[in-house]
Chains A and B, each alone.
Chain A
Amino acid sequence: MQMALDIASWALILGGIAFCLIGGYGLLKLKDMYARLHAASLIDTLGVGLVFVGLMLQAGWTLVTVKLFLILIFIFFTSPTATHALAKSALNHDVLPDVDTEEERDMVRAGRTPGSGGEL
């Protein structure tokens, strides 16, 4: 039983670390800010999620598991909120996505959130 739990923990933690490293690599490699948001959300969801579930398996049915679960739920809800706020304020601050054609650039400009663009 302990052996099976250890193997499952190893698998989950190595998977989570792999997602963290891929996210960190994407954070350096991707070419504009909105693409980098995707790399960052990879770390915030699957990276943290898999590693914490692996730690929960090691902790067993104790208060430690409850605390890990609380942190996991909190990050699960706040990380998309922070990403959304960052993307919206960047779009209102004239950071445009790196698109290929002039036509797409016009579509990006036309689709901008109205109301808070003029006060920067």
Chain B
Amino acid sequence: MMFSVAAAGVIVTMVLAIVRAFYGPTVYDRILAVNVFGTLSVMIIAIYGFVDDRPEFLDLAIVYALINFIGTIAVAKYVTFNDMGHGDDGDPAGDI
């Protein structure tokens, strides 16, 4: 019961994030919405592991968390520079 309620809330929030990804006026709104959707996917995979009593799902959640972060950074860099291998141009703060 507890885990089903949690899963329902996460799914509702995922729908809200998808709506923002469709309507977001700039590409950054869409990246943000997809980043939030990825975080919510991590949550729902972990919760499903508890619902089904299969703790192996937590390993999948770890992998999703890693891929979500790398994907967000990569897409943000690609839309900024049109190039995945762009350097930092001597900026001490880095490229993006």
Task: Determine which of B16, B20, B39, B76 lies in contact with A86 in the assembled complex, contact meaning CB atoms within 8 Å.
Answer: B76
Contacts of A46 in B (CB 8 A): none
Is the Cβ of B72 less than 8 Å from the Cβ of A28? no
Q: Please classify how large the interface on chain A is, using the bins under 10, 10 to 19, 20 to 34, 35 or more.
A: 35 or more
Q: Please classify how large the interface on chain B is, using the bins under 10, 10 to 19, 20 to 34, 35 or more.
A: 35 or more
Instruction: For the complex, give the distance between the alpha carbons of A75 and B67 in Å.
Output: 12
Task: Determine which of B16, B61, B90 lies in contact with A71 in the assembled complex, contact meaning CB atoms within 8 Å.
Answer: B61
With known contacts A36-B20, A95-B28, A116-B89, A82–B69 Cβ distance under 8 A: yes
Q: List 18 A-B contacts (CB under 8 A).
A: A23-B13, A24-B15, A27-B20, A33-B32, A43-B13, A44-B36, A48-B39, A51-B47, A54-B2, A70-B62, A74-B65, A75-B42, A79-B39, A89-B28, A93-B80, A116-B89, A116-B91, A116-B95
